[in-house]
Structure 1
């Protein structure tokens, strides 16, 4: 459990609460979070506010999935004894920091962010993009800086958001004339971006190409059967291409025996290994990996009271940390009550100078 005397590097990450998590979340950042939680002071955000940026027409969906994502965190092995899990909407400092930071970012810079550009195109917003969605990088900057995180486990597509966070940090520090905030480093996993089973972009619930962490063996079998391979590999004896082959991407991400995967790649490239064989092997690996997670999740979901107590305690601790950072930012920008009192002592016009 983090304390005021904790000198470990700080990690901040989280997930939008739009639905249960999937294998893309695990490969992209959950695996890194598990590896870091003992050596780092780690905070996990259930990002319900950010989930509203493109789900404001159905807030009940966000509310329902706060617990669903929490179930997934605990099922994969996040330990609330060493990792603080908090609900974003219950941390008022994050909303105020977001508002402050918006004054240090231009609309054109937000529109140039590659991550946001890609997501706007994916959702077909065109010029009807919600303002909250466009300002997503600012809100994420508020999350990261509020905890003074120096490490953020992310997928490759999220790196531009970390870069924009650091731009905001530098502008705030320059305005304050001192280092109020710290810059963060994006920590990529070995497989930084897991494609959807159809090979079309990243794995996504909304695109229907995801395998949830709670998937049953039948769900896994169906998903693996749909996986994109090499369209020119018509017979097992044909030489095949591994690059861009979704089955091998998943084997790289989840097979523990790297030598086995290397041998399979070599056999596939020279000819002699069929797609059905590779898919069956991947299916076995994914069932073995997800089965204990699915069972633990069912046990955890049967006791929502315990999970709510974890979130209540984690949110309480996170609120203290984020409020302290907000106070520092206010002071750096001259927005504390003491600053206003000092300004008033120099005459009534000082407040608008």
Structure 2
């Protein structure tokens, strides 16, 4: 039975963090066993709000690829590819922009929220406003049948499928599949400050490359319950970042349930919980840290992995581009 194609990826704006691991990376480790998986290093999308710092985007390409390999992504099973070296994506994106109105792009809830959070006002980079069409090009070029997305990104996939249907209507037949969303169960991890989602730009994340010392400092700084002043005080579990991380990374769910009950009635200190979490995260990140160190010593190997994955992706995406252009009746030479 042919494996379904799945596309996922990350903007190359800096090394990945624990939020990426919980929300996507560990799922990708499973997907590479069951799907034909492409992992996109989205450097062109990174430019939509980082054109002022192209060097950051450039150096992040290797860093994100190293993170992929360090957590266990197998380049023999997953094609790691570079967006800017897949010309079919740009050509399809330009085509799709003629099948969608500016008003529809601006109504996309994901784009509206991101524009608001970044404070663009009316100085919105055109590339950012056109992000849904560009992402539609990414997804359809690979003919991805399933796409892992967070709940906040679901409107992007909805618009992708709108465009796929329009292309199919123009062609008079099904050229592009309608992709199905997979919503990760973990959701987005909060930042260690408890005030926002974990993000590279927010300064509240734990990078996968964190040293043991950095990891300990981050865990000790985690927000718990500001009213839990003494060990004997009853504590609040909801909104407590330490418990959120234990839920995400501690496999002993029965013990975590007992700890929550103990914390709620009082008699359980934050220090004990943080010590447990630190041990769990060190067990997870220690091997990743070691593999990262080895990979950083051999950047040529990482580049070769990207080159090979990009070559496979270029063949797939160019074939789709040619099929779409022919199907809708574009002039051929």
TM-score computed with the length of structure 1 as normaliser:
0.91
Count of residues paired in the alignment:
333
Q: Distance in 2 between matches of 1:38 and 1:300?
A: 23
Q: CA deviation at 1:37?
A: 0.2
CA drift of 1:233 comes to 2.3
Alpha carbon RMSD of aligned pairs, Å? 1.4
Instruction: Tell me if 1:253 matches 2:241.
Output: no
2:1 is aligned with 1:14: no
- SS of alignment partner, residue 116 of structure 1: helix
CA contact under 8 A between 1:120 and 1:129: conserved in structure 2? Answer: yes
CA offset at residue 303 of structure 1? 0.7
- Inter-partner Cα distance in structure 2 for 1:198 and 1:111: 32
Per-residue deviation, 1:239:
2.2
CA–CA separation in structure 1 for the residues paired with 2:81 and 2:152: 24
User: Which residue does the alignment assign to 2:175?
Assistant: 180
**Mapped pair 1:310 → 2:288:** no
Contact residue 326 and residue 332 of structure 2 kept, 8 A:
no
Does 1:284 find its partner at 2:274?
no
Shift of 1:301: 1.2
Within 5 A, what are the aligned runs for 1:1-353? 7-337=2-332
Structure 1 runs not aligned, ≥5 long: 1-5, 339-353
Q: Which runs of 5+ in 2 are unaligned?
A: none
Instruction: Specify whether residues 109 and 239 from structure 1 end up closer, same or farther in structure 2 by C-alpha distance, changes over 3 A only.
Output: farther
Cα displacement string for residues 229-260 of structure 1 (whole angstroms, at most 9, x for unaligned residues): 22222222222222222111111111111112
- Flag the structure with larger Rg: 1
Instruction: Report if aligned partners of 2:236, 2:264 keep a CA contact under 8 Å in 1.
Output: yes
Distance 1:336 1:320 in 2: 21
Contact in 1 for aligned 2:247/2:256 (Cα 8 Å): yes
More deviation in 324-333 or 225-234?
225-234
1 CA distance for matches of 2:267 and 2:151? 33
Deviates more, 1:236-245 or 1:124-133: 236-245
3-state SS, counterpart of residue 234 of structure 1: coil
